[in-house]
Amino acid sequence: MKILMTASEAVPYAKTGGLADMVSALSLALAKLGHEVRIVVPRYYGVDRGKLTQLAGAMGVHVGGGEEWCAVYTTDLPGSPTKNPVTVYFIDHEQFFGRDGIYGTPSEPDFLDNPRRFAFFCRACFQLCRKIAWFPEVLHAHDWPTALVPVFLKFGERQAEFANTVSVLTIHNLGYQGIYGKDNFGYTGLGWNDFYAAGFEDWNMMNLLKAGLYSADKLNTVSPNYAEETKTHAQGFRLDGVLRYRSADYSGILNGIDAALWSPKTDPYIPQTFSVQDMSGKALAKEALQKEFGLPGNPNVPVLGMVTRLAGQKGVGALFGPAYGSAWSICRDMDLQFVLIGTGEAWCENELHSLSGRLSNFKAKVGYSENLSHLIEAGADFFLMPSQYEPCGLNQMYSLGYGTLPIVRNTGGLADTVSNYEEKTGNGTGFMFNDLTPSAIYNTVGWAVNAYYNRRDHIEAMRLRGMKQDFSWEKSAKKYVAMYESIQ
């Protein structure tokens, strides 16, 4: 099958979260199954044009009220099978993408012109196919930034070479929908008779994700449990009605993890690789982690790690909320070390600095580091993810693979991938709690730390059990193929 992935992020070019990992890893897995997969992403400022090949000629893209001109660059995705590489195309438009930030900057988290930036990009995806004379059977869109791809296919583009093309929209995060003033609607190039409640219209605003959910041939999200949760009023972010309406075409497919990037057997970021047969590298990773964060190099104290966006979704309120968060009492009361790397909301970054100053066993780095994220996954004993909601979550799967026991809230993909510790039998792969409250987090971390000191046999057995889990992309990629094939 010919598949075009249209996305706002893809590793190694642009990443704010797991979406970027998923787009590239799924593409590679599909290519390994023999499909012809190409990816199209914007050429953000951070992507070095010097390393790419430019396609000849400028490309004109029709948008409402005129034409935008852009350049197209290309390269092969690293890790591609040699005989069937995944080609990546970059849409280069200086005014829209020649700036710092993917969706925004710390001072302007959501660029004012985002509806136009991404409407242009979605139109450009079709023009790209015409330019390279390559027409996919499947157009696969991800989240609100490319939700207009299925919309444009349905409203106007499904003709000529696209006559038999079908569309899929994957929801990675229902919390971000791309809701903008309807004065931006004209730029999409659609007419006002296409602006109605079972589509774009959302309380007199324009909702890009909602339009995509009504337009795509099939919808899915990134875990079976989250697919169910999103159909409820509590977790549907006001779109549960749409998802119930479309439930016959809506499913959950668990993300995999890219073992070429995330495996303790080959990881270049850790001092020594390790596996279930020989765990000595894990002890070295713990030592390196403690050193990196300036903590005493004690092998006997449990290390709790986190790698996260500092956003409400990740439960940082209950953990770090000034005056009520549980991190302070966890570090004060328990014999453990707590390390974190993250970026995000300013209040939370400030609180992390403040806690680091007041607690000797709490060390946080504010920033983004691939290197440290691998070291934390490998070197920590426990990995904390108290998410408010979690469509899939990749970090807990990475943790399991590195013998680091996840402590997670029982929600979304976390519930699909972690099984709760049973004291009686020693079964399970992690520690779970239901309520997003400071005391539930406190008690569950305490439970894990207690097991670390008093049930070491259980802890070691759980580590190995987690490492043996199969989260390969191959399994999930086959489910995507089945979904593509199911569309008439």
Instruction: Using CB under 6 A, list all residues that contact ligand GLC.
Output: 17-19, 22, 172-173, 222, 255, 390-394, 413
Residue 369 interacts, among ligand ADP, ligand GLC, none and using kind-specific CB cut-offs from 5 to 8 Å, with ligand ADP
Q: What does 172-215 look like in DSSP terms, one character per residue?
A: S-TT---EEEGGGGGGGT--GGG-STTTTEETTEEEHHHHHHHH
Q: Residue 209: CB partners within 8 Å, gap ≥ 6?
A: 143, 144, 147, 171, 174, 176, 177, 178, 239
6 versus 184: smaller Cβ distance to ligand GLC: 6
Would you say 42 or 342 has its CB closer to ligand ADP?
342
Pick one of 178, 317, 379, 393: the residue that binds ligand ADP (CB under 6 A): 393
Q: Choose the one of ligand GLC, ligand ADP, none that binds residue 309, judging by a C-beta under 5 to 8 angstroms depending on kind.
A: ligand ADP
Nearest one of 126, 138, 35 to 89, comparing CA atoms: 126
The nearest distance, CB 340 to ligand ADP, in angstroms, is: 9
- Residue keyed to tokens 């929908």: 177
Cβ(246)–Cβ(199) below 8 Å:
no
- Rounded to the nearest whole angstrom, what is the least distance from the CB of residue 326 to ligand ADP in the complex? 20
Find where tokens 């190039």 sit: 189
Chain positions 292 to 331 lying near ligand ADP, rule: CB under 6 A, are 307-309
How many residues belong to the chain?
A: 488
Q: Which does 337 bind (CB under 5 to 8 A by kind): ligand GLC, ligand ADP, none?
A: none
Residue closer to ligand GLC (CB basis): 189 or 391: 391
Contact (CB, 8 A) for 103 and 110: yes
Helix (H), strand (E) at residue 385: strand 382-385
Quote the least distance from Cβ 381 to ligand ADP, whole Å.
Answer: 18
- Residue 412 zone, left/alpha/beta (φ > 0; ψ -120 to 50; rest): left
- Which of the listed partners (ligand GLC, ligand ADP, none) does 222 bind, with a CB threshold of 5 to 8 Å by partner kind? ligand GLC
Q: What is the smallest separation between the CB atom of 140 and ligand ADP, expressed in angstroms? A: 18
Residues 417-456 touching ligand ADP, rule: CB under 6 A, are none
Q: Does 341 bind ligand ADP (CB under 6 A)?
A: yes
Task: Give every strand in the sheet of 201-202, ordered side by side.
Answer: 179-181, 205-207, 201-202
Residue of 401, 376, 403 whose CA lies nearest to 470:
401
Q: What does the alpha-carbon distance between residue 89 and residue 38 come to, in Å, rounded to a whole number?
A: 8
Residue 473: name the closest of 142, 88, 33, 4 by CA.
33
Site for ligand ADP in 373-392 (CB under 6 A): 373, 392
Q: Which residue is nearest to ligand GLC (CB)?
A: 18
Alpha carbons 89 and 81: distance in angstroms, whole number: 17
Whichever of 392 and 451 has its CB closer to ligand ADP, that residue is 392
In the set 395, 399, 411, 417, which binds ligand ADP (CB under 6 A)? 395
Question: How many whole angstroms separate alpha carbon 255 and alpha carbon 391?
Answer: 10
Among 264, 302, 342, 466, binds ligand ADP (CB under 6 A): 342
* 235 touching ligand ADP, by CB under 6 A: no
190 or 348: CB nearest ligand GLC:
348
What does 31 bind: ligand GLC, ligand ADP, none (CB cut-off 5 to 8 Å by kind)?
Answer: none
Question: Which amino acid would we find at residue 47?
Answer: V
C-alpha closest to that of 152 among 92, 68, 212, 220: 212
Choose between 184 and 356: whose C-beta lies nearer to ligand ADP.
356
Residues that bind ligand ADP (CB under 6 A): 17-19, 21, 307-309, 341-343, 368-370, 373, 392-395
